[in-house]
Amino acid sequence: MKNYLKILLGMIGMGSALQAQATEKIDTLFVNAHQVVMLVFPEPIRQAVVGDAHFVFTYNKESGQYMGLVQGTEGVESNLFVITTSGTIYSYTLAYKGQLEQTYYKVLEPEHIGKEKQPDLKVQTFEHGVSRSEVKKYDSTCERLLQYHAGKVKTRRRKKLRLRLEELKYVGEEMYLVISLKNKSEIDFKVGDVRVFVSRGRKGKKSSYQELELPVSYRYLEPETVVAGGESRWVLVLPKTVLGAHEELQLEVGEVMGNRSMKITF
């Protein structure tokens, strides 16, 4: 009887230790190719973005699954962003380790790093708004574009800020702009209006110079704030625009209650 009680108490103690371990706040996820690491979130997963191809995060996109699985091969450290259906964002560093001590994590809601800025669907290029199938199409394309650092179409630096247009891609009748904003200053940058214009004519001739603002169909992961020392990447979806002679596109990122607005012409 005493031996039975010892075994029972040992099992209870082990279960408590595993529960405490599983709910411990996560900063770095260690993974490898022969073990599967499970993350269970408090809400269904809507999207996930992995920074490098030698790490993989899988989940059931159709069923609104709470659980995601991570694996990876040996290589440089990367990162993982997971967004739930409420727009809550979680961030982790991914690192390779030959043998894992822990393969199950229960994610708690207070561990999130922020909330996704809701897409601005008030300005539409569609007569009846954006349908669920169109949103799904946008999400899929934007997620794929953010998987890779495509390049540097145009860069602007000002007051320790770096605004970069990483890629301009046409898909069907839409134009996708991949944008990054790096804040090397000591002050958070609160993102204001993010707008795109077509400029016509030449600024030297005011009578012929015009700016026409393009409607934004969808905003994917557009941040509310780029913290001091941080960087954010997001995607704008706009109607496909064919430029004529003396026409250029302009991207403008404003600052809320500040004077550090940035503009790129491309």
Instruction: Name the pairing type of β-strands 231-239 and 174-183.
Output: antiparallel
Q: Check whether 128 has a pLDDT greater than 50.
A: no
Block residue for tokens 């995060």: 57
Q: How confident is the model at residue 201 (pLDDT cuts 50, 70, 90)?
A: low
d(CA 219, CA 230): 20
Q: Which of 60-64, 220-224, 252-256, 258-262 has the lowest mean pLDDT?
A: 60-64
3-class secondary structure, 78: strand
Residue 6 above 50 pLDDT? no
Is 246's pLDDT higher than 80?
Answer: no
Q: What percent of the chain has pLDDT over 90?
A: 38
pLDDT class for 161, splitting at 50, 70, 90? very high
What is the pLDDT confidence band of residue 222, given thresholds at 50, 70 and 90? very high
Please report the domains of the chain, with CATH numbers, ordered by start residue: 2-115 (2.60.40.1550), 132-265 (2.60.40)
pLDDT higher for 216 or 23? Answer: 216
Q: Which helix (H) or strand (E) holds 140?
A: helix 132-146
Closest CA to 163 of 135, 144, 184, 138: 184
Q: What is the pTM of this model?
A: 0.53
Which neighbouring-strand residues pair with 47? 83
Looking at the predicted structure, is the pLDDT value of residue 148 above 90?
A: no
Interval 175-196: pLDDT, tens: 999 999 999 998 899 999 999 9
- Buried b or exposed e, range 9-42, using 16+ CB within 10 angstroms: eeeeeeeeeeeeebeeebeebbbbeeeebebebb
Kindly give the pairing relationship between strand 67-72 and strand 55-58.
antiparallel
CA distance 226 to 235: 15
